[in-house]
Structure 1
C-alpha cells in the first residue's frame, strides 16, 4: 500500500487513523498481533522494529528469544473489523544484533522470500505464480471438549440435511448430503455471506475469480482467487482466512478450514495452481508436449511427485489432514499426475489451453498449512525436479488418465500412495529434506523444530481416547 513512511503518515492523518496494528505469523501459521497508537508510528519503528518474545511464536529457545519485528509498509491495509480506525500491516522478524539486526531465517516470510530468490539465482525462472482454491465450512454452532473424563464435539448448520425434520424454524430446502456442489438459493443460504467476503477481499487487493457452494452439504464453501507470486499469495492466504473467519463471527456464524470437520462429508482442501515465468514468458507451455506441457513443467511436476510424501509434512501438517486424504471424497490418495482427473494428486486442467495459462494444480494441500512454508516447499521440490530432470513418466507417476478410485486391489499396489498419517509424513520429511535446505532456504533448525512440534501433536492425538473408540470397543 505504501512505499515510504511519509506516504503512510500522510494516509494516517487524512483517514484519521488512531491505531497501527502489526500482524505476525507464528510457526504454525496463526496470526499474532500487537498494536500501538498511530502517533507513535515513526522512523524508529521501521529502523529498529518492535521487540517481542519469539519463543511464544514457536521460533526459538527461551534463552535466545528476544527478537524484533519490522513492519512491511507495502502490506498495509485498513482493518474492516476494528471499532477504532486501525491501519494494519504485516511484520518481518529480525534477530537483534550489533551493529545491525538481520533477518531471522525461520521467519515464514523470510523462507518464502528466500525460496523466490533461490529460483531467480538458479536462472530457471524469474518467478513462480500460484493460485490457491480456498475451501472451508461455515457453521451456525460449534462446541467441543477434550477433558480427561469427557470428549466430543457438536456441530450444527441450519442448512444441513440432518435438520430436515426439525420441528422449529424449518422452512425446508435443506442442502443434500454430499450434494451441495454449485447449489443455488434457497438451499444456498450462504450466498450473500460469500459475496460480502468477496467484496472485503477485493478491497484488500485480493482478486477473486469466483465463489460457490461446495460438495459438502452443511456449509462447505469455496472461493478461488487470481494468481500472484509466492510471498504475495502467502500474505493473501493469511488475509483471506482472517477476513472469512472474522466476517463469519460478525454475522453470528463460525468458519473453519479444518480439512475434515465432518465424518462422511467432503473435506476442505487448498488446491494450488502454479506456473513459472521468465522474462515475462510462460515456461510450462509446449503445444507438442503431453497435455501441452513443456519439459520444464514435466520436470517441475517430477520434483513435486518425488518429494510429495515429505512435502505433506508442510502442506498437510495436522492429524486431521489425513482424514480428508481418503478415497471417495474427491481428495487424492495416490501419487501421480493426469489431465482433468480429480483423483490424481497433480491435475492438469484441460480448460487451460492458452500458453500464458498453461498450468497444473497440486491437490493434496489444505488450509491448516503455514502457507509461507508450504508454498516455498513446493517451489523447492519443483526446482529440484528441473535441476535433476526428473521425468515423472519415467519415474512411473503417470499419466493416470483414469479413475484411480476404481482400480482393482491388484492394480492399486502398483501405484504409490500419499502418507496415511501425519507421523508417516514426518518420517518422510526426516529422511527427505535436502531439497529444502538448498542455499539455506529452509534452515535445518527450522525442520528440526517443525518435526518436534508436529510430533508433539501426533503424540497428543494418539493418546486421547475418542468417542468412536467407545462406540467400537466399550462392550468388548
Structure 2
C-alpha cells in the first residue's frame, strides 16, 4: 500500500472512489473519505453486485441462489495500487481506485470480470508468454435528450451547425469539437491514460481513440477509466458520448478493434515471427484459435441485443472470421508491420463490450489455438465473402444464438469457470427478457393502424 498512500498524499486526495467492474463494465462500489479508506484498506460489497444487469435488475432466483450464498454475503475488495487514477473533473481532490475481489478464504471471485482477465493472463505466464494489446475505441457524440423514443442526433459544433453526411478522417469535422477533446486529452494525461491518435470515423460525430500498446490488464483498466472520462468531458460541454455498438439507424456501428501480439518473456521477441521474419506456426495457430472459439465466446465481445445490430448485412462491420493481410473486410485483419511488430487485429468486439471480458476472450481464443496447434483457414485476397453458407466458422447472428453457444461451450467452462459462464449467461438472458417486454417505435409506426 506504500505506493498508493504516497499517491494520495502527494495529490492531497480528500475522497476515494473504490470501484470494481460489473459484468456490463459499470463502475460499482463506494465513495469514502481518504482517512476512512486508509484505515479500512479496502471495502466489502454484496456478491449480488456481480449478477446485476444493465437495468439494475438481478438474475432469476434459480440462477441467483445457485451461484451465491443464500445469505447474500459480502466479498472483500482489495485496492490495486497500480490501478489508481486521479479524477480531474471533481470539485474535491478525488481518486478512483480499482479493486480486486476475493472471498473469505482469499480466493479470487470467479464472477469478477477483472479476475477473468487475470486468469487468462496467468495461462500465458505459465507458458512463458507475454501478450500485448492495443485497443481502438469508437464512439459517437450526440445531442442531449431525455426522450428515449427520439433518434439520436449529432451535436452542434463550433460552427453552430450539426454534422451532415459522412466525414471519415475529416480534420475539420473533428475540430468542430475541439474544446471537448482538449479537456479529454488533458484529463487523460492527468490520469496517465496512454491514448494516442484521434480519428473522425465514418458516422456523423463518430470518433475513434487509439491506445498505445501494452500490458492487457493495464490497458483494460485504462479503457474502463477512459469511458467514464469521455462521458464526463462530453457532459461538461452539454453533449453525450455513447459507446453503444449501434446507436444510430443506417449509420456505422462502433467497435473496439483489438490489436494483439505475444512476446517471449525471456527474450522479448515476438513469437508470431520466425527468425527469418516469416509468419510463425504459433501465429497461424493463434488465428486458428480465434476462428474456432470466437463463436463460443461471442457474448463477451457482443454483449447485448444492440451489439448484434452492428452485424446486420450491409453494415461496415465484418460479419465473418476470415483473415487476410491489410484486409479490413476480414474479421481478423493482419496490419502491415515489421516482423517484430507482427500482430492480429480482432475487428469483432463492439465498443459496448466489457473491456476486461472482451480482451480476456480474444486472448483465450488465441491461447487455445496455440496450445492445441490449430490451423487457420486460407487467407482471403480481396473482399471477404460474408455468406454464412460459405464460411467454415460462422458467427451467431442473434444474442439468443450466441448465449446458447456460450452456455454449451466446454472451453468457456474449462478456462473461465462454470460459475462465471453460468452467471454471465444468466445476466445477459435477464437483460434479453427485459428487452423483449419493450414495445418499439417500429412496432407503433408500422403495426398500430395496419394489422
Contact 1:45 1:70 in 2 (8 A): no
Q: Number of aligned pairs?
A: 432
Within the candidate set 117, 136, 141, 1:138 is matched to 141
Map of 1:153 onto structure 2: 150
Deviation at 1:451, TM superposition (A): 1.1
Within the candidate set 89, 95, 98, 2:103 is matched to 95
Task: Name stretches of at least 5 consecutive residues in structure 1 with no aligned partner.
Answer: 146-151, 161-168
Map of 1:414 onto structure 2: 390
Deviation at 1:103, TM superposition (A): 2.2
Within the candidate set 291, 296, 301, 1:305 is matched to 291
Contact 2:203 2:251 in 1 (8 A): yes
Helix, strand or coil: the match of 1:71? strand
Q: Show the 5 A alignment for 1:245-324.
A: 245-278=231-264, 279=266, 280-286=268-274, 292-324=278-310
Cα distance in 2 for residues equivalent to 1:190 and 1:327: 32
Contact 1:133 1:225 in 2 (8 A): yes
Map of 1:431 onto structure 2: 408
Contact 1:338 1:344 in 2 (8 A): yes
Deviation at 1:144, TM superposition (A): 3.8
Matched, 1:387 2:387: no
Helix, strand or coil: the match of 1:142? coil
Identify if the C-alpha distance between structure 1 residues 154 and 210 changes in structure 2 by more than 3 Å, giving closer, same or farther: same
Identify if the C-alpha distance between structure 1 residues 170 and 91 changes in structure 2 by more than 3 Å, giving closer, same or farther: closer
Map of 1:166 onto structure 2: none
Point out which structure has higher relative CO (alpha carbons under 8 A, 6+ apart). 2
1:97-133 Cα deviation digits (max 9, x unpaired): 4xxx332222222211111111121x2x421111110
Map of 1:12 onto structure 2: 8
Cα distance in 2 for residues equivalent to 1:462 and 1:401: 41
Map of 1:21 onto structure 2: 17
Cα distance in 2 for residues equivalent to 1:96 and 1:116: 24
Contact 1:345 1:362 in 2 (8 A): yes
Cα distance in 2 for residues equivalent to 1:412 and 1:312: 16
Contact 2:130 2:262 in 1 (8 A): yes
Q: Show the 5 A alignment for 1:460-475.
A: 460-474=434-448, 475=450
Matched, 1:194 2:181: yes
Q: Show the 5 A alignment for 1:428-467.
A: 428-432=405-409, 434-438=410-414, 441-467=415-441
Contact 1:143 1:155 in 2 (8 A): no
Within the candidate set 69, 78, 83, 2:77 is matched to 69
Give the TM-score taking structure 2 as reference length: 0.89
Deviation at 1:58, TM superposition (A): 1.5
1:12-36 Cα deviation digits (max 9, x unpaired): 3343321122121112221113122
Give the TM-score taking structure 1 as reference length: 0.85
Deviation at 1:188, TM superposition (A): 4.4
Contact 2:412 2:421 in 1 (8 A): no
Cα distance in 2 for residues equivalent to 1:199 and 1:15: 16
Map of 2:40 onto structure 1: 45
Contact 2:18 2:43 in 1 (8 A): no
Helix, strand or coil: the match of 2:443? helix
Helix, strand or coil: the match of 2:263? strand
Map of 1:361 onto structure 2: 345
Cα distance in 2 for residues equivalent to 1:347 and 1:153: 36
Task: Name stretches of at least 5 consecutive residues in structure 2 with no aligned partner.
Answer: 53-66
Deviation at 1:266, TM superposition (A): 0.7
Within the candidate set 14, 31, 49, 1:56 is matched to 49
Contact 1:230 1:375 in 2 (8 A): yes
Cα distance in 2 for residues equivalent to 1:445 and 1:170: 52
Cα distance in 2 for residues equivalent to 1:233 and 1:186: 28
Contact 1:326 1:332 in 2 (8 A): no
Contact 2:132 2:215 in 1 (8 A): yes
- Which structure: larger Rg? 1
Map of 1:228 onto structure 2: 214
